[in-house]
Structure 1
């Protein structure tokens, strides 16, 4: 009995079962980002992912039912990185800043994260057309992010009404659509444009989406 215990101790290096599970899952997530972000989701296999993660093939199914589940888990971590970058920037914003300055402050760390080519490929290419479940996840996440960003920027632009000819959700969709397409194009072009140019351009777009509505409100109040 002691021989078996000693052998097990040597094999696992004193690592608990829980820690071992966490480590293997982490290795799979990291491998998923590298593989999906390079050769792509459709070319990925369980064997290839496990080889990249340096774990036995059989361990994959302890954590994920299929590669689509790993893709969604990797995607969720990518989105968390993007969202956290903006949320952290929000905490540093000067409340007296103008709308354009705030937009730049939020977009700078966002596009800095986008400069990770593996992340960019997963977020804007590999999750498209996989399955209705993945597609719905993508659409929901993009809508939520657009609503978060636009909702925050509106606080620096005064009261913006959602009148009969303006839908806030659609406005958020339009905003995130512009950001997403720009991020995807920037990635596909090899990040040729300087980040400051990308940030300044998208900040101008967001300012132009919100500011005119505020001007309309001001004019109505004056009248």
Structure 2
């Protein structure tokens, strides 16, 4: 006979309370990605999200205070996916490859992830203009990702030398700004360009940024 409990909660149908909570939260996260990534954050309601997640409305507030909190959680998960896509190829990179080839190997999984239109819309459109809190999170994440990417490139190219007319943080901002805008416009074009062309173009840009700096060391 399957396990059943009262509303206090421990197990129901063989599912523990903790597993049930994890499942409902994941259902909400998945629903958030689909809804925010299609009809958009501003059109989303708690009721609509819960219907998409196939859970009762009251369960939403067990995990999130408001839809903005779900948006940030979904955004963080999307960024983690993008970051992990780059990190996972680090161990496979050929240290003897040229800088452009290394950049291409790093960018290929990144832009492959961007081909998920729900993820792309959440990351580059839906988090803009929501609130100061969300805007600050967006700016911090973009800066961190730019620093991470340049850090990976410096693993193969060497450290960028210090200079009174060069700010490495600004360099990271410029790099991620170019990548981010390219990803956004690529998504908005319906992915008109082939991914390999997008990757090769951005890799060339990154190599042209970093390679001249090596000669200054």
Matches within 5 A, 1:61-210: 61-210=61-210
SS in 2 for 1:156: helix
Deviation at 1:131, TM superposition (A): 0.6
Pairwise CA distance, 1:72: 0.4
Please list every run of at least 4 consecutive aligned residues from structure 1 whose deviation after the TM superposition is greater than 3 angstroms: 5-9
Are the counterparts in 1 of residues 75 and 123 from structure 2 also a CA contact under 8 Å? Answer: yes
Is structure 2 residue 36 aligned with structure 1 residue 36?
Answer: yes
User: Normalising to structure 1: TM-score of the pair?
Assistant: 0.92
| Structure 1 unaligned spans of 5+ | 218-223
Mapped to 2, the partners of 1:20 and 1:169 lie a distance apart of 43
Unaligned runs of 5+ residues in structure 2 are none
Distance 1:6 1:209, change over 3 A: closer
Provide the rounded CA distance (Å) in 2 between the counterparts of 1:62 and 1:178.
Answer: 39
Question: TM-score w.r.t. structure 2 length?
Answer: 0.94
Structure with a larger share of its residues in helix:
1
| Preserved contact between residue 161 and residue 216 of structure 2 (Cα < 8 Å) | no
Q: Deviations over 1:61-86 (max 9, x none)?
A: 00000000000000010000000000
Give 1:158 shift: 2.9
> Aligned partners of 1:57, 1:159: CA distance in 2, in Å?
52
Relative distance call for 1:61 and 1:95 in structure 2 (3 A) is same
The answer for the alignment partner of 2:56 in structure 1 is 56
1:162-208 deviation digits (Å, cap 9, x = unpaired) = 20000000000000000000000000000010000000000001001
Over aligned residue pairs, what C-alpha RMSD do you find?
1.7
Alpha-carbon distance change, 146 to 15 in structure 1, aligned in 2, over 3 angstroms: same
